[in-house]
């Protein structure tokens, strides 16, 4: 009787295990699409983290940055919509689309610009890997800077990737999930990543790297103007700065009393005249900086003391004018006497 109970319990345990395993397999391998969608969502989350880290870098990329950013966002939206549609397809339709390379994952990765090649084994039904370079996007860097190229978002849903091959349009070839390369010339370069899975299936994708010249900030402005003045009188201040990249400049001035001024964009090395007056007495620190479209210069500070006309000031001015008049009068008198002095008669 005891042995009978043991046998019954063992049979029940084995049957329960088989049923549970079947359910798990059915959920995981029903059509392969839920796994693919999950991978996409995971890649998208990782990419946004990467983007946030890129935005925190204090580098002056110029207009290239915004262009790549808008392009990337558009591609992410298109990719997300496509994946959602594919997840709703049934088994056979999904498998046929993937094998034909039409409506399944196009192998572009989230950020690649061109689909190159997709192969699979008819005999084994192997699904090819997906080459994805978006982990390092946007690819933009400075000349002679060591730039990272990241293929870690690449994947193979029914196996694993055995090789990453990077080909650059300057002729360089590198192997590895993550590689580094620097460029000597400012230009746009084509980058191709090819991945090979454990069954020999291949997938390639292309993206581009923009290599730009590092921006040099303009020099701190030179300011020329009065150091003393009086209230309600307009004063001229000359401001000039120079940019080694020959960029146009805009000047920004803070007058020390809460008011600010801004110039129009002028060519490199062109001086600008600012006019300003103060309505209160005091010592004011004028702050001036220039902007080349990418970077601000260091700030130049210029101090001016503003006073008012007082009774003593007026009397000093009158005395000074009287003194000048007296000196001029004495000069004229002496000069006339010299001219009127008679000449001695000759022998």
More confident residue, 181 or 22: 181
- DSSP summary character for residue 55: H
Q: Residue 240 domain-assigned? A: yes
Q: Which two tokens stand for residue 304?
A: 């001016």
Tokens 């839920």 sit at which residue? 34
The pLDDT value recorded for residue 226 is 94
Last residue of a domain, one of 212, 240, 270: 212
Question: Per-residue pLDDT tens for 131-142?
Answer: 999 888 888 888
Residue 48 has pLDDT above 70, yes or no: no
Q: Residue 9 domain-assigned? A: no
Residue 36 and residue 180 in one domain: yes
Cα 342 to chain center, whole Å? 88
Residue 26 has pLDDT above 50, yes or no: no
Residue 171, C-beta contacts closer than 8 angstroms, at least 6 positions apart? none
- Alpha-carbon gap, residue 10 to 267, rounded angstroms: 89
- Alpha-carbon gap, residue 138 to 55, rounded angstroms: 10
Question: Per-residue pLDDT tens for 188-237?
Answer: 999 999 999 998 899 999 999 988 877 889 999 999 999 999 998 999 99
Q: Beta strand pairing status for 228-230 and 300-307?
A: parallel
Residue 276 has pLDDT above 80, yes or no: yes
The pLDDT value recorded for residue 245 is 87
Angle between helices 33-56 and 63-87 (to 10 degrees): 160
Q: Is 268 helix (H, G, I), strand (E, B) or coil?
A: coil
Q: Is 80 helix (H, G, I), strand (E, B) or coil?
A: helix
Q: Residue 6 domain-assigned? A: no
Q: Residue 32 domain-assigned? A: yes
The pLDDT value recorded for residue 65 is 59
State the pLDDT confidence band at 249, using cuts at 50, 70 and 90: very high
Range of the domain at 288: 222-307
Q: State the total domains in the chain.
A: 2
Neighbours of 59 (CB within 10 A): 15
Q: Residue 315 domain-assigned? A: no
Residue 90 and residue 232 in one domain: no
Question: Of 111, 131, 130, 107, whose CA–CA distance to 70 is shortest?
Answer: 111
Cα dist from 6 to 9, 12, 17, whole Å = 5, 10, 17
Residue 70 and residue 185 in one domain: yes
Least confident of 65-79, 122-136, 328-342: 65-79
> What sign for the dihedral angle of Cα 91, 94, 100, 101?
negative
Residue 68 and residue 141 in one domain: yes
User: What CATH code is carried by the domain that includes residue 261?
Assistant: 2.60.40.10
Residue 121 and residue 85 in one domain: yes
């Amino acid at each position: 009787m005891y042995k009978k109970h043991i046998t019954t319990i063992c049979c029940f345990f084995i049957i329960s295990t088989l049923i549970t395993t079947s359910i798990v397999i059915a959920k995981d391998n029903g059509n392969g699409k839920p796994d693919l969608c999950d991978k996409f969502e995971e890649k998208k989350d990782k990419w946004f983290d990467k983007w946030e880290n890129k935005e925190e870098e204090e580098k002056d990329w110029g207009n290239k940055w915004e262009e790549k950013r808008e392009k990337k966002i558009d591609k992410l939206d298109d990719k997300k919509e496509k994946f959602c549609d594919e997840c709703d397809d049934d088994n056979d339709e999904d498998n046929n689309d993937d094998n034909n390379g039409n409506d399944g994952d196009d192998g572009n990765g989230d950020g690649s610009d061109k689909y190159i090649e997709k192969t699979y084994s008819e005999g084994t039904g192997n699904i090819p890997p997906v080459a994805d370079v978006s982990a390092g996007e946007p690819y933009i860097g400075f000349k002679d800077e060591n730039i990272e190229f990241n293929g870690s978002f690449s994947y193979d849903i029914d196996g694993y990737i055995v090789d990453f091959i990077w080909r650059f349009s300057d002729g360089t070839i590198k192997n590895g999930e993550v590689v580094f390369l620097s460029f000597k010339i400012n230009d746009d370069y084509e980058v191709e990543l090819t991945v090979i899975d454990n069954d020999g299936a291949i997938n390639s994708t292309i993206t581009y790297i923009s290599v730009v010249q590092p921006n040099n900030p303009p020099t701190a402005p030179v300011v020329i103007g009065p150091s003393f003045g009086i209230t309600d009188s307009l004063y001229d201040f000359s401001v000039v700065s120079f940019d080694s990249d020959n960029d146009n400049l805009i000047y920004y001035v803070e007058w020390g009393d809460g008011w600010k001024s801004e110039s129009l964009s002028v060519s490199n090395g062109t001086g600008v005249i600012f006019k300003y007056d103060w309505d209160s007495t005091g010592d004011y620190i004028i702050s001036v900086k220039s902007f080349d479209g990418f970077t601000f210069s260091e700030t130049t500070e210029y101090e001016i003391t503003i006073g008012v006309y007082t009774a003593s000031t007026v009397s000093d001015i009158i005395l000074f004018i009287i003194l000048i008049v007296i000196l001029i009068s004495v000069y004229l008198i002496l000069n006339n006497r010299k001219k009127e002095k008679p000449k001695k008669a000759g022998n």
